[in-house]
Amino acid sequence: MDGNKKVIFSGIQPSGDLTIGNYLGALKNWAALQDQYDSYYCVVDLHALTVRQDPAELRARTLKNIAIYVASGLDPKKNTLFIQSHVPAHSEASWLLSCFCYMGELSRMTQFKDKSQKVGESVSSALFTYPVLMAADILLYNTDLVPVGSDQKQHIELARDLAIRFNNLYSPTFTIPEPYIGDTGARIMDLQEPDKKMSKSADNPNAYVLIMDPPDVIRRKISRAVTDDLGVVKYNESQPGISNLISILSTIAGKKPEDIEKEYDGIGYAKFKSDVAEALVEELQPLQNIVKQLLDDKPYMESIYKSGAEKASYVANKTLRKMQKKLGLIPR
């Protein structure tokens, strides 16, 4: 931990296999930031429990996520990589913060409103309160920046509100976090409905490309991606499908969208789609090989998440003790 560096925190749920949206929109950006920040990245397995999970699959995906973090370029020596449930301070701090969070604040959360409308009264209370746990995740590490997609900014606002409320009541305790939204790859869209963000929970398997998809599957899904009848490779609002493919290629190749437009001027969609697919295959195959090697090395994997949990616990417990003392709880 470097006291001169700002702190960055984020995490991904192991509720499904990770997509190229997770990789290009989050993981690739995280790796680029690791020398600039004191970074904490966890697999938020407790958040995944807001919906029913198969226990064996949840354990397997949690380990796979850690392996994908490392394979994506996150050095365990430069970043604190851990599993959320291995740091009990997250659950404890969540309860303490929930005592300062209002029902109205949680009921306004867009994701809760969207999901609760689908399932009605059987919606889990955890789905209602999980933004408080997310706030605890962030605030325990005196986080300065949280890399998130624009759809998560509402949750960062809640974390900020709770931190300010607690600080005002009990003296400065938390750093007030800010969202960090990368310039590139911040929002990879659904391949079949490009007005929606790519999601691993989409019903149509052609809507997303998984990080661990084989090359032939990647090529097939990209070839089936929705485009339009214009036949022109342009990055604009009237061509969301093509713009999404340009965004994917731009993030992988490190090229500006306008440069890709020039490169494919007068060239049809078939060639463009083929090149996007091959760029993805070339990008993902080395990563997939590393993931498989890591998952075969259980002692090394265990050393990563155990060491990460120890580092995270040291910092999180210091913050938790401050919270407990200011609230009047007797120290253990």
Catalytic residues: 115, 197, 200
Distance between first and last Cα of the chain: 26
- Residue in this structure with the two tokens 């690739």, named with its chain if needed: 28
CA 228 to chain centre: 30
Alpha carbons 8 and 54: distance in angstroms, whole number: 31
Alpha carbons 260 and 240: distance in angstroms, whole number: 15
Q: Which of 128, 144, 51 is nearest to 94 (CA)?
A: 128
Go through 127-146 and write b for each residue having 16 or more CB atoms within 10 A of its CB, e for each that does not: bbbbbbbbbbbbbbbbbbbb
Alpha carbons 45 and 230: distance in angstroms, whole number: 44
3-state secondary structure of 264: coil
What is the longest distance spanned by two Cα atoms in the chain?
72
Alpha carbons 154 and 149: distance in angstroms, whole number: 10
Alpha carbons 309 and 306: distance in angstroms, whole number: 5
Backbone φ/ψ region at 259: left (φ over 0), alpha (ψ -120 to 50), beta: alpha
Do 94 and 139 form a contact (C-beta atoms < 8 A)? no
Number of helices (H) and strands (E), helices first, in the chain? 14, 5
Q: Which amino acid is at 211?
A: I
